[in-house]
Amino acid sequence: MANTDSTSDVQNGSSVDRVAAKLVSLITAREINPGEQLRQEDLAERLDVSRVPIREALHALSNLGLLSHERHRGFFVAKRTRSELLQIARLLELLETELITHIEWPDEAALDELNALNAEMDKIASEADWVALIDLNRAFHFRIFALSSQTLVYREVERLWQLAAPYIIFDLSRPEEREQTVAEHAALIEALREKDQDRLLDVLNHHRAKTGLPVRGGAGER
């Protein structure tokens, strides 16, 4: 049986992190499917923890876009139709390209910050508890996007990433894919250092193509 609620669970951030990591693992393994409701009582018993870290983890994953929260109903694994995902993928291709073509090249301090984020990702890429990599991956990309002067486009890309989050996260579910992501991030940093916009766009397009989003004419969502 699950433990009773206690404030010590919330004070111990690692408990919430472990629960969040387990939920991400269950969702990316499709043991919990898109559209499925997540009931706190059931999860507390399943994971043998109190409802306090469950509740905090659900809110954290909702903020990442992996879950949706409906008032008076609870939390659900976010679900998009294939048509919606195709639209999101196309919009991201167009808008991220727009951001990249209007960037100001980063200085050494900004490049060091990107390298530091990627180094943190590299540290946990092969670990079983890799949920922190989700935030790091998002932070890395949006550090680059923030170099652009197109602020309204930037905000729209933020919104689209939120909608696409479950499928972006799915792409990070296997260690070899996380390690490849780190390598591609390093290539993005090098293109920024060399101020090579064509190379930057090429790497970004290749990087985007391997996410869990479907592509037109492709085999469909994974």
Please give the domain boundaries of the chain with CATH numbers for all domains.
7-77 (1.10.10.10), 82-209 (1.20.120.530)
For 95-109, how does the pLDDT look when each residue is reduced to its tens digit (9 = 90+)?
999 999 999 999 999
Q: Is the pLDDT of residue 185 over 90?
A: yes
Residue 215: which pLDDT band, with cuts at 50, 70 and 90?
low
* Contacts of range 30-33, beta carbons closer than 8 Å, 24 or more positions apart: 32/77, 33/77
Strand order in the sheet with 37-38: 37-38, 74-77, 67-70
pLDDT at 5 over 50: no
Task: Tell me what percent of the residues of the chain surpass a pLDDT of 70.
Answer: 88
Chain centroid to Cα 207, Å, comes to 14
Q: Is 64 within 8 Å of 135 (Cβ atoms)?
A: yes
Alpha carbon 212 to its chain's center: 11
